[in-house]
Amino acid sequence: MIIRIIISLIIGGVSGCIAGYIMNSKQSLVMNIILGLLGGIVGGVIGGFIGVGATNWIGSILISVVGACILIWAYRTFFK
């Protein structure tokens, strides 16, 4: 249980960093990691709606990156 949470946090952090580079984000690294963690949730929900899911850690990172990119876009749109 604890191992799974730690792995999820690592995947969220990595995906937040990747999404920050993709979106050319000017935010801090900490904000990108937070958006990556939340992006994993958003990506999972959106993936569930369209019938796409992750079966391994690479898929989890890809879904989290998509969710984090959506959140970075939303953050830029609504808070800037």
Q: Where are the domains of the chain?
A: 11-75
Nearest Cα neighbor of 12 from 46, 36, 43 is 36
Cβ(67)–Cβ(41) below 8 Å: yes
Residue with tokens 């990172």: 61
pTM above 0.75, yes or no: yes
pLDDT recorded at residue 6: 85
Which range is most confident: 2-11, 52-61, 69-78?
A: 69-78
Residue pLDDT, tens place only, 11-70: 888 888 898 899 887 778 788 788 888 888 888 888 888 887 777 888 888 888 888 898
